[in-house]
Amino acid sequence: MSDSATKLPVKNETAPAPAPTGGRHWSPFETMRNEMDRLFDAFDAGRSRGDLTRPSFDFGWPRETVFGGGMPAVDVAEKDGEYEITAELPGLDEKDVEVKLANGMLTIKGEKKEEKEERGKDYYQSERRFGSFMRSFPVPQGVDREKIDANFAKGVLTVRLPKTTEARAEEKKIDVKPA
């Protein structure tokens, strides 16, 4: 040790340390258990024993809005003569979206890359956000695979899967009679 170090006196007290507020001793395991109990209480909030709905957690964490862990909204509908898949993809361009048909599955993939730079007199701000998604749908029998069409406009992807003429002819409306 260097000779220039300053020595400080060390006090040795024999009196016991004061008890924490409330007279209870702090225990890290008890603190952890209390936090776990609080988490499970939040999990069970609003549920009865027979209710099997998923609980919703709201921890106040910021949510990623650019496909980070989430999926874009997708609607699938059967219309006259075709099936239609509509996906909301805000902020994407058609070059960022891929639609592929393979092994009886229609797959929609997309990736968003957003970069923002701002320079001021005494600051520089740079942000990057990336997110991707992939959704696959089984293609029903009776779809004319050669005529599948995809259009992208104003952040909405629309994929049309026309039915074959045989599939349209097989459709039959059945009347419902009272018992």
**Residue 166 domain-assigned?**
yes
Predicted pLDDT at 7: 45
Residue 83 lies in a domain: yes
Domain residue limits at 137? 74-170
Evaluate whether residue 106 is within a structural domain.
Answer: yes
Total of domains in the chain: 1
Angle 18-11-4 from CA coordinates, rounded to 5°: 140
When pLDDT is averaged across residues 97-101 and rounded to a whole number, the result is 92
Q: Is 163 within a domain?
A: yes
Measured CA distances, 64 to 67, 87, 89, 130 (Å): 7, 18, 14, 10
Per-residue pLDDT of 35-86, as tens digits, reads: 888 887 776 655 554 444 444 444 443 334 445 446 788 899 988 889 999 9
Query: Could you tell me if residue 112 is inside a domain?
Result: yes
Q: Is 5 a residue whose pLDDT tops 70?
A: no
Domain membership flag for residue 56: no
Q: Please tell me the predicted confidence (pLDDT) of residue 28.
A: 78
Q: Is residue 150 in some structural domain?
A: yes
Phi, psi of 116 (to 5 degrees): -135, 130
Name the pTM for this structure: 0.54
Write out the E strands in 80-142.
Answer: 82-88, 97-102, 105-119, 124-138
In a domain, 85, yes or no: yes
What CATH number does residue 159 fall under? Answer: 2.60.40.790
Least confident of 36-45, 82-91, 131-140, 146-155: 36-45
